[in-house]
Amino acid sequence: MEHERIAKLKQQFPEGTFLENEPMSAHTSFRIGGPADLYAEPGSAEELADLIAASKAEGVPYLVIGNGSNVLVKDGGIDGLVLRIGPKMARIDIVPFPTGFGEEWYTLTAEAGCLLSEISAAAADAGSVIGDETKGLTGLEFASGIPGSLGGGLFMNAGAYGGELADTVQMVLALDPETGGLREILNPDMAFGYRTTALQKTGEIAVEATFLLQPADREAIAARIDDLRTRRVTKQPLRYPSAGSFFKRPEGHFAGKLIEDAGFKGYSIGGARISELHAGFLINTGGATAKDVLRLMHVVQAAVSEKFGVRLEPEVRILGRD
């Protein structure tokens, strides 16, 4: 990217903190990725809109990411400006929601930079808001171990262990990068599906979401979270950097089972390996490059297709330049 255009963009935000040639390996759970020409973390939806508008005006490409837990950035890095919606946009508010029918409901509103695990914990620990320390808010236990942020989760309808965001999201506040305007999108209009939402088609960027939750016994919520934590620790290769389950679940199959049955459990290319613990995970055993991961992906796809006639599609977003 031309230094002149980058310099002009930076000049428009003298109060902003920009990092040049920032390694994306520092901002992805894979710990892989070349440098972004320019990197920034906006502190509000308005600042995000201003940065996008300025980037477009200067002809600087931009990319919006969340916690980087479901992306693989190529070794050549990313052209232009990377905007991370992260800890600077991580407010959580919980308030009663009057129904008029005698039932107790609460809304939890969170900014897109919140980690899903933080939102789950806030719901579970909402006793002081509810006015009863023996209770919490149920419905987000499944999200307790998902490493991504809310923004990324809304982009793909993140889920685990039988739950997904679609189950409890009431409304999403999204930024239109073309106009800079904000739009409220109700649950039915989000077109939630398996690892897909309307945001993937409209190009809008989630900046906030509101969940509708009910009180439940706090100990029961904690027990559910502990059970899910135990299942993750015993069945997922958490000690290695990864992007979680690498492939989407093929209809009628499980990606990890197909890979294992094809004989590729533990198979390595460079520093990338198919996990011995869960074959649906491609892991970075140390020093893996994006090229290693992509080569491993292609080998596995070809083997599974040849043996079972099933095409494995990556769930992980593959970004950047070679």
Using alpha carbons only, give the angle 100, 207, 20 rounded to the nearest 5 degrees. Answer: 165
Q: Which residue is listed with tokens 């808001």? A: 129
3 state DSSP class of 74: coil
194-198 long-range Cβ contacts below 8 angstroms, 24+ apart:
194/157, 194/248, 194/249, 195/156, 195/157, 195/248, 195/315, 196/156, 196/157, 197/154, 197/155, 197/156, 197/157
- CA distance linking residue 101 with residue 162, whole number of Å: 29
| Residues classed as catalytic | 195, 245, 315
Of residues 82, 75, 87, 112, the one with CA closest to residue 9:
82
Q: Between 218-235 and 116-124, two packed helices, what is the crossing angle to 10 degrees?
A: 150
What number of residues does the chain have? 322
**Residue 317 CA to chain centroid, in angstroms?**
10
